[in-house]
Amino acid sequence: MLELKNIEKKFGGNLVLQGISFSLEPGRITGLIGPNGAGKTTLFNVITGFHKDHSGTVIFSGDKITGLNPEDICKKGICRTFQVTKPFANITLTQNVMIGALSRLERIKDARRKAQEILDFVGLYEKREILGRNLTIADRKKLEIARGLATSPKIFLLDEVMAGLNESELLEMKKLIRNIADSGITLLIIEHIMTVIMELSQKVIVLDQGKFLTSGTPEQVTKNPEVIKAYLGKEFKHA
């Protein structure tokens, strides 16, 4: 469905991604993990067209999408959330989500209806008339998801949507992510909270310092000594 071939990206002379190749299978939740600076968000930027000066190819449903603009990639069916949430601060949540819906719909009325359905789905319906700037962290994350969903993505990339949430918010978010996956959307999730990612994903891809380290089921990955080393350092190799 989504295939990355030999992605390489430099910031100045600094190689931040090298030789990244993997593919996503449809309808599954894939986790993307790695220590800080591993290149996870950069990889999201490459896939969604925010970085263009990279080598390698990104193929989506048989089409090469490398070099396309984010708005065109969105139209093809790939959307993402941002780690640092970017709500449209001075308009209501309904209007925020409507903008996503308008990528597929022509009429304002239809977009409003769809936006309200999605706000209901993510649990923000009651707050639909609040301005984007007046949200808590958890709600901002949900709004990011709602807006993305409104574009009817086939693949949805979630960038740390669980960072900074408390226990109950975390539970709610896990349920939401499962519901999204159940609706048939393929998910690629960046997350730092290991337990959560192990619980949610069917497959985990590990990056370390811009390189592909390993991939496999959550169990395989957690037992891999290379992964433990990458996260904890050499001394804990035998921990």
Partner 1 sequence: MKQLIKNIRNSSHLPFVCFFLAAAVLPLFVENDFYLDGFILIFIWASFSSAWNIIAGFTGMVSLGHNALFGIGAYSSTILLIRYGISPWFGLLIGGTLAAAVGVLIGVICFRLRSHYFALATLAFGEVIFILAMNFADITGGAEGIALPIEPDIWNMSFQGKLPYVYSGLILLMIVTIVSSKIKQSKLGYFLIAFKENEDAARMLGVNTGRARLTAMAISSFLAAVTGSFYAQYIVFIDPSSVCRIQLSIQAALFAIVGGIGTVFGPIVGAVIFVPITIALRAVLGSTMPGLHLIIYGFILIVVLLYMPQGILGAAKNKLFRISNN
Contact positions vs partner 1 (CB under 8 A)? 48, 50, 69-71, 74-75, 79-80, 82, 86-91, 95, 98-100, 102-104, 106, 108, 111, 129-132, 147-148, 150-151
- Cβ contact 200:28 at 8 Å: no
Q: Cβ closer to partner 1: 60 or 82?
A: 82
Is the Cβ of residue 50 or residue 231 nearer to partner 1 in the bound state? 50
Nearer to partner 1, 158 or 213 (CB): 158
Residue 111 Cβ vs partner 1, minimum distance, rounded to whole Å? 8
Smaller CB separation from partner 1, 129 or 235: 129
Q: Which amino acid is at 27?
A: G
Could you give the C-alpha distances from 170 to 6, 66, 137, 231, in angstroms and in order?
Answer: 34, 34, 12, 23
Tell me how far CA of residue 238 lies from CA of 207, 221, 223, 230, in angstroms: 21, 16, 11, 13
Q: Are 11 and 185 in contact (CB under 8 A)?
A: no
| Shortest Å, Cβ 227 to partner 1 | 30
Q: CB of residue 166 vs partner 1: minimum separation in angstroms?
A: 25
In angstroms, what is the minimal distance from the CB of 147 to partner 1? 6
d(CA 65, CA 112): 30
Q: Please say which residue, 77 or 210, places its beta carbon nearer to partner 1.
A: 77
Q: How far is the CB of 214 from partner 1 (least distance, A)?
A: 29
Contacts of 185 (CB under 8 A, 6+ apart): 149, 153, 154, 155, 156
